[in-house]
Amino acid sequence: MEKTLSIISATPLGSLSDGVEHEEGPEPSEPSETRDFLVHESLHGQRLDRALAALVPEFSRSYLQQLIDAGAVAVQGRVLTKSAATVHAGEIGSIELRPTPQSQAFKPEPLPIAVVHEDEHLRIIDKPAGLVVHPAPGHWSGTLLNGLLALDPRAALLPRAGIVHRLDRDTSGLMVVARTRAAMDALVGLIAAREVKRQYIAMAHRSWQGADARHVDAAIGRDPRNRLRMAVVDLTRHSGKPARTLIESLDSNDEGCAVRCTLETGRTHQIRVHMASIGHPLVADSLYGGTAAAGLERQALHAFRLAFIHPATGVQMEFLAPPPPDLVQAMQAWGLDYNRA
């Protein structure tokens, strides 16, 4: 089948939210909510916690494990307290959903989400810097997930509201979000097969040295000296995963450099870690050695290009989003030209 190419510039369709309310679990004033479930054939032989994660997708697996441990889950009239217990097709059960900050986080909240493209299967959004993607300790509300639940009633039926990959809180740029389970599974598969092309523009300290293009192939894992950050690690001594980034210089002067980064793998903080490892920490990335400069106080990283084959139509899609004003102004302050991207 001949493939066609669709290139879409990130001029947002608008900041969309329909304000639809969804039942996400017990309200703070309620002691609990009991929900009945039927184990589908597709879940036959699965662990209890995995089956519940599919049956009650608006709650995380870790939260469901806590409920199992607390005796809040019964199958065929018998309380099960082991997450590894096996379930069988046709079994009927119930789960008592008890309120916690985590359980109450997965609620719709109207947020200004810039939608670049949407169809029946997926959305492309341009995430602003400062927006957290998933609820987590310290950020139980106001996340992209909360905004997606308000934007689309169908999002409540999908794990993580259809989110298939992340951007760090202070990284701006393009993300793809699924609108159906079939599209979500297909997109996860494309990402795992490295068939989704993700490119970033970054601004870093120090003048660029050497060849214009540099291929960094260095495994990433938890920093053995600081578990709150990631680091390049030796896999013979520490746990981690292979990580590869193509880094290309776009412009450079005495102030610093502008680079284009192409992800070949998708590890946590990959570009930030790899840039720091070659002596070019990102501007304002204090976690990895950068400092605020040129008026920028968030890490200088923007996902400007996203390309993949549409999981339903087979059309080759490409989306482009120019850097936001804060990054453009910082580049101009240092006299850097990023337009070769």
**Exposed, middle or buried: residue 120 (CB in 10 Å: 0-12, 13-18, 19+)?**
exposed
Is 168 an annotated catalytic residue? yes
Q: How many CA atoms lie within 13 A of 233 on its CB side?
A: 21
Q: Residue 75 — φ and ψ, nearest 5°?
A: -130, 125
Question: Taking a C-beta distance cutoff of 8 angstroms, is the pair 158, 145 a contact?
Answer: no
Q: Which residues contact 307 (CB under 8 A, 6 or more apart)?
A: 196, 197, 316, 317, 318, 319
Contacts 24+ apart (CB under 8 A), 263-267: 263/198, 263/199, 263/200, 264/194, 265/194, 265/241, 266/165, 266/191, 266/198, 267/220, 267/230, 267/241, 267/243
Helix (H) or strand (E) holding 189: helix 181-192
Active-site residue (options: 168, 170, 251, 326): 168
Question: Taking a C-beta distance cutoff of 8 angstroms, is the pair 216, 244 a contact?
Answer: yes
| CA end-to-end span of the chain | 30
Neighbours of 151 (CB within 10 A): 27
Beta bridge partners of 257: 204, 252
Euclidean distance between CA atoms 58 and 113, whole angstroms: 20
Q: How many CA atoms lie within 13 A of 29 on its CB side?
A: 0
Q: Residue 189 — φ and ψ, nearest 5°?
A: -65, -40
Q: Is the dihedral of CA 34, 99, 80, 22 positive or negative?
A: positive
Which sequence positions are flagged as catalytic?
168
